[in-house]
Amino acid sequence: MEARREPLRRLVLDTSVIVKAVRNFRGASAALIEATAQGKVQALGSTTLWLEYEAVVKRPEHWVWPGFGSEDAERFLDVLSAIATPISIQFRWRGLLADPDDDMVLETAINGGADALVTFNDQDFEPARRLLGLEVRRPADILAKLRDVS
């Protein structure tokens, strides 16, 4: 009997995924945000993670599309805010990862009961995968899994 392949539905998007979505509206990261808007997956977010998203999206060096500016960055953040599921941090996870900025991503995933943490920086989250059993995936992997169960 073959095991049923369930999609990873509750996701935490690392900031690297958000940056890629802003820089490439046709890529896997943007498609994953679209899948969230369509209700196919849930993007989990905490206050600290949201502040990081906001700071990064507002940096002009990420506005590579012609005509994309501060108003577009605000609209992108508005959409992201509307579709994200807020998570309250009840338990802090600090010191497990080499980069302290990644701790807030891990905390959101653990406190939100995420099925996966989505990132382009797989190795940064290797301790969480190894010690906590946290799924760490890339956006294209999640999209492929969604197509497989559709």
- The token pair that represents 9 in the structure block: 């539905």
- The residue extents of the domains of the chain are 10-149
> 0.85 cut: is pTM over it?
yes
Q: Would strands 116-118 and 84-86 be described as parallel, antiparallel, or unpaired?
A: unpaired
Helix, strand, coil % (nearest 5) of the chain?
A: 55, 10, 35
Give the pLDDT confidence score for residue 97 in this predicted structure: 86
Query: For the residues 97-101, what does the mean pLDDT come to?
Result: 86
- Which distant-in-sequence residues (6+ apart) come within 8 Å of 14 by Cβ? 102, 105, 117, 118, 119, 120, 121, 125
Architecture of domain 10-149: 3-Layer(aba) Sandwich (3.40)
Residue 150 banded pLDDT, cuts 50, 70, 90: low
